Structure 1
């Protein structure tokens, strides 16, 4: 969770991995360019923080904070 404290809305991040299954079009978008911009935060599992990331071209998803790093 320490990393999430340094990431703010507007931060550029790189998706390093994905824990859950995601749609094929999102997999392709991440293969093409795994970077995006943080657009918001969400509470996950009642304990952690998820990051809402805009990947461009109308694609976006949320990721756990340990799935991304600052780009």
Structure 2
């Protein structure tokens, strides 16, 4: 009877160790996926900021060209 309980206790310990390892692996996987998602969002924000700056520069260039054309037509 004692050996049976000891064997059962050993089995429970093994299952607990396995569950803990699987849980740690799952947390590591979720951490990696979350890190990748955060990086993708940061990349998207950086792209948006660069695109916004380019559009702003283009708008300023067009405004300057418009003003130059208007001043030339007044001459």
Q: TM-score, normalised by structure 2?
A: 0.15
Between 1 and 2, higher relative CO (CA 8 Å, sep ≥ 6) is seen in 1
Larger Rg: 2
Name the structure with the higher helix share.
Answer: 2
Name the structure with the higher strand share.
Answer: 1
